[in-house]
């Protein structure tokens, strides 16, 4: 997390009240920017271009953080962190590559990141720098080749895992079939025993008759 904040205060009415109280305490009602930043917040702007004539405190009071040419709402910066975190936590070879992941240590700026901030690529560089990141330009050919190699390896690993799971299921099914066959075998072996008993009974009668004749 980049910030600890109270979400309810990043609303036009509470932010306007906080700004007014600060202005009354610090004689700021006549300072440039009083009310203007809160108006931008009320219009739903996730980020605004910083006006150098405005007192920077007004941006902070309205829930914005100044980062280069733009001021970004702190709750939006937390959403940005939610997009960056999976990209930096991922490691090559550990499942499918998340959007924006590169090598497990750095990440790439993605369209969704720029979209939630309403920022351009140049704005993103300054915003991320203000958050403690460092830009590392890389050739597009190198990036493309690396990503294709990682995605190919991930697909092969997924296919191998699926094959192993299928083989395990087949082996399990074969073992179950063998167990069922073994359970049925004793019932079949009882028939020869019955035949043997019948043969024994049949052979005993002639012997008894032969003994009785003399």
Between 156 and 130, name the one with better pLDDT. Answer: 130
Q: Report the domain count for the chain.
A: 2
Range of lowest pLDDT (47-51, 52-56, 102-106, 112-116):
102-106
CB 41 within 8 A of CB 15: yes
Decide which of 99, 130, 161 is a domain's last residue: 130
Between 97 and 34, name the one with better pLDDT. Answer: 34
Position 62 in a domain? yes
> 107 and 124 in one domain?
yes
CB 150 within 8 A of CB 92: yes
pLDDT at 48 over 80: yes
pLDDT at 213 over 50: no
Q: What is the DSSP string of the chain?
A: ------GGGSSHHHHHHHHHHHHHHHT-TTSTTTTHHHHHHHTT-SEEE--TTS-HHHHHHTTEEEETTEEEEHHHHHHHHHHHHHHHH--TTSSSPPTTB-SSS-B---HHHHHHHT--HHHHHHHHHHTT-------HHHHHHHHHHHHHHHHHHHHHHHHHHHHHHHHHHHHHHHHHHHHHHHHHHHHHHHHHHHHHHHHHHHHHHHHH--
- pTM beyond 0.85, yes or no: no
- The predicted pLDDT at position 208 comes to 40
> 15 and 45 in one domain?
yes
> 122 and 145 in one domain?
no
Position 193 in a domain? no
Distance, in Å, from the CA atom of 124 to the CA atom of 126, rounded to the nearest integer, reads 5
> 148 and 125 in one domain?
no
Residues 6+ apart with CB under 8 A from 157: 93
| Alpha-carbon torsion (70, 74, 79, 82), positive or negative | positive
Percent of the chain scoring above 90 in pLDDT: 48
The chain-wide mean pLDDT, for the chain, equals 82
> 72 and 31 in one domain?
yes
Confidence of residue 136 (pLDDT cuts 50, 70, 90): confident
Domain span at 18: 7-130
pLDDT at 200 over 50: no
Residues 6+ apart with CB under 8 A from 17: none
């Amino acid at each position: 997390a980049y910030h600890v904040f109270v979400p309810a205060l990043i609303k036009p009415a509470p932010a306007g009240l906080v700004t007014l109280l600060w202005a009354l305490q610090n004689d700021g009602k006549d300072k440039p920017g009083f009310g203007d930043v809160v108006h931008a917040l009320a219009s739903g702007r996730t980020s605004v271009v910083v006006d150098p004539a405005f007192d920077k405190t007004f941006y902070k009071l309205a829930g914005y953080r100044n980062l280069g040419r733009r001021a970004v709402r702190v709750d939006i910066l937390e959403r940005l962190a939610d997009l960056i975190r999976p990209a930096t936590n991922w490691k090559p070879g550990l499942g499918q590559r998340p959007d924006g992941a590169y090598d497990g240590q750095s990440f790439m700026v993605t369209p969704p990141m720029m979209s939630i901030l309403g920022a351009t690529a140049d704005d993103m560089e300054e915003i991320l720098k203000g958050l403690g990141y460092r830009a590392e330009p890389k050739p597009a050919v190198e990036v493309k080749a690396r990503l294709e190699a990682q995605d190919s390896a991930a697909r092969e690993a997924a296919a191998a895992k699926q094959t192993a799971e299928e083989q395990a299921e087949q082996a399990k099914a074969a073992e179950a079939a063998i167990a069922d066959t073994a359970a049925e075998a004793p019932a079949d072996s009882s028939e020869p025993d019955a035949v043997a008993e019948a043969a024994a009974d049949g052979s005993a009668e002639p012997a008894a008759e032969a003994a009785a004749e003399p």
